[in-house]
Chain A
Amino acid sequence: MSPKIFAKSLDLTFSTNDGPVHALKDVNLDINEGDFVSFIGPSGCGKTTFLRVLADLEKPTGGKVQINGVSPTDARKSRAYGYVFQAPGLYPWRTIGKNIKLPLEIIGLSKQEQNDRVERVLRLVDLQDFENKFPWQLSGGMQQRASIARALAFDADILLMDEPFGALDEIVRDHLNEQLLDLWRTTSKTICFVTHSIPEAVYLSTKIVVMSPRPGRIIDVIESTLPNERPLDIRESSEFIAIAQRVREGLRSGHSYE
């Protein structure tokens, strides 16, 4: 089976006033269909940049990257992925329901189909009573769920998530992590998930990509041995702790304090 997403000696250099910044250097990665991949590393390690390259929001300066066997631009044009940003990014003049309809209007789905999908994804993220509320009437966690619902309504089989729960408190985060795992199991999507929380990465992923800054590169790729069924208390198991330990070591080895 050919990989769903693959990157081969991918380079991306930003030119700034202070000279070139190597955001990504020689990144090689295969992601298979149905994988839940976490990207973890300190800020500046290029994890977000890598996701943005996949989404065709940044152009690589070297190497090769393919999604579903085509370039990121073609993948974007065929609407192969849904993207969830760090901030909810809901349009304030649209109600929650209308925000979720935004991509559906752009694709040009029928009103009936739009309504069906909105109803379905709102149920998935447990927001069915909030369709006609404006974003500011919702809490931060609910807004982020709405933005995930929007990406899900798009119904692409790849979900790119850039630290979607970074700004949320621990309790809400646990809850959303559980919901996200549920979603992943029931929809069998391929998910790329950027985070800087080790427990979050280990808890969610089938594959953990540990990255390091200056230049942004991959240090370690860990295939998780945890089962797909993951109750929250799996985080106390010795297996979980062992994986977390390996992630931590990877992060430490990549971090230079010169």
Chain B
Amino acid sequence: MRSLASICVVIFALIVVWYLSAFVLNTPWAMDKAKRAGIEISSKELILDTWSQEKPKLPAPHQVGLEIWKTTVEKKITSKRSLIFHSWITLSSTLVGFLIGTSLGILLAIGIVHNNAMNMSIMPWAIASQTIPILAIAPMIIVVLNSIGVQGLLPKAIISSYLCFFPVVVGMVKGLRSPDKIDKDLMHTYNATNFQKFWKLRLPTSMPFLFASLKVGISASLVGAIVGELPTGAVRGLGARLLAGSYYGQTIQIWSALIMAAMLAAVLVGILALLQRFTLNRMGMT
């Protein structure tokens, strides 16, 4: 109950700051309009104007809320103007990218933990891969894949997985190495095989680490999918909405796509959190 109250207070404070910022940022344009029309506006009119412009510098919360309402509930899902349609496009490549990225990340982590050559050689490359701006490499991936005939969802998914595999590798290497000495000694006295050590000790011990990295990974995947839509002139997806919005100065559209992406990320992370609680509960590790 108390946590709910504190969440509400924070949200309320954010909304207040948002309305104030909208007023400050949109005031010059409102004054400009009034000056050109040669009229004096009262401060009440000024405030209302800053919160209801068509192309504001910063749209007010209710404008964004209304836009989201209009493009979700009031539009058919199949419509090109439905935000749900665009979210689904982005979500599908996010999920495929997440699947590829986490599988790759877990496999690399297993290799790094079990093989010294991989341990020495993979990590530097993994770190280097993350220092390259994704915006720079995304068009390359699209172009290269397109030239071998791969287009559509997969190139975006690969950009997603490029961002997503890294936190999974780092988290899982740490997790697979986290068993205590005594637990490993025990396995040694049983003369367990490497596979048995992995399956019965390393993997269960790494579970809390796995879920932490999955949560980071899925939000990275979503960012990757959106970024993958930006440089490709995509016409579908949240990234395409952002791009189209910025071409035509449709700030309300941009913000509604941003909020939608944020909500999508929250839902995805929330699902993983539930899965984590369920799994760790069943493992008696709460």
Contact check, B183 vs A55: say whether CB atoms are below 8 A apart. Answer: no
Nearest CB of A to B192, in Å: 5
Contact check, B200 vs A76: say whether CB atoms are below 8 A apart. Answer: no
Across the interface, B285 reaches (CB within 8 A) one of A57, A83, A87, A92, namely A92
B245 contacts A by Cβ under 8 Å = no
B133 contacts A by Cβ under 8 Å = no
B38 contacts A by Cβ under 8 Å = no
Contact check, B189 vs A106: say whether CB atoms are below 8 A apart. Answer: no
Across the interface, A83 reaches (CB within 8 A) one of B183, B186, B192, B284, namely B186
Considering the complex, which residues of chain B in the window 177-194 have a beta carbon less than 8 Å from any beta carbon of chain A? 180, 182-183, 185-192
A53 contacts B by Cβ under 8 Å = no
Contact check, B284 vs A85: say whether CB atoms are below 8 A apart. Answer: no
Considering the complex, which residues of chain B in the window 248-286 have a beta carbon less than 8 Å from any beta carbon of chain A? 283-285
Residue interface mask B190-210, A partner, CB < 8 A = 1: 111000100011001001000
Nearest neighbor of A147 in chain B, beta-carbon distance: B186
Contact check, B186 vs A93: say whether CB atoms are below 8 A apart. Answer: no
Q: A56-B188, A57-B188, A76-B191 are in contact. Are A87 and B283 (CB under 8 A)?
A: no
Considering the complex, which residues of chain B in the window 138-186 have a beta carbon less than 8 Å from any beta carbon of chain A? 180, 182-183, 185-186
Across the interface, B284 reaches (CB within 8 A) one of A81, A92, A106, A154, namely A92
How many angstroms from the CA of A81 to the CA of B186 in the assembled complex?
Answer: 12
Nearest CB of A to B187, in Å: 8
Across the interface, B190 reaches (CB within 8 A) one of A79, A87, A134, namely A79
Nearest CB of B to A74, in Å: 10
Considering the complex, which residues of chain A in the window 60-80 have a beta carbon less than 8 Å from any beta carbon of chain B? 76-77, 79
Contact check, A85 vs B204: say whether CB atoms are below 8 A apart. Answer: no
How many chain A residues sit at the interface, stated as a range, is 20 to 34
Contact check, B185 vs A106: say whether CB atoms are below 8 A apart. Answer: no
Contact check, A136 vs B284: say whether CB atoms are below 8 A apart. Answer: yes
Across the interface, B185 reaches (CB within 8 A) one of A57, A93, A154, namely A57
Q: A102-B200, A106-B200 are in contact. Are A55 and B283 (CB under 8 A)?
A: no
B contact residues around A166 at 8 Å (CB): none
Contact check, A91 vs B285: say whether CB atoms are below 8 A apart. Answer: no
Considering the complex, which residues of chain A in the window 91-106 have a beta carbon less than 8 Å from any beta carbon of chain B? 91-95, 102-103, 105-106
Considering the complex, which residues of chain B in the window 29-83 have a beta carbon less than 8 Å from any beta carbon of chain A? none
B contact residues around A92 at 8 Å (CB): 283-285
B contact residues around A134 at 8 Å (CB): 284
Nearest neighbor of A92 in chain B, beta-carbon distance: B285
A89 contacts B by Cβ under 8 Å = yes
Contact check, B189 vs A57: say whether CB atoms are below 8 A apart. Answer: yes
Across the interface, A79 reaches (CB within 8 A) one of B182, B191, B200, B204, namely B191
Nearest CB of B to A162, in Å: 10
A contact residues around B189 at 8 Å (CB): 55-57, 76, 81-83
Nearest neighbor of A73 in chain B, beta-carbon distance: B191
- Beyond the given pairs A91-B200, A94-B284, A106-B191, 18 more chain A to chain B contacts, judged by CB atoms under 8 angstroms and listed by A's residue number, are A56-B189, A57-B188, A76-B191, A79-B190, A81-B189, A83-B185, A83-B189, A86-B182, A89-B183, A89-B186, A91-B183, A91-B201, A93-B283, A93-B285, A102-B190, A102-B200, A107-B190, A135-B284
Binding site for B on A (CB under 8 A): 55-57, 76-77, 79, 81-83, 85-87, 89, 91-95, 102-103, 105-107, 134-136, 154
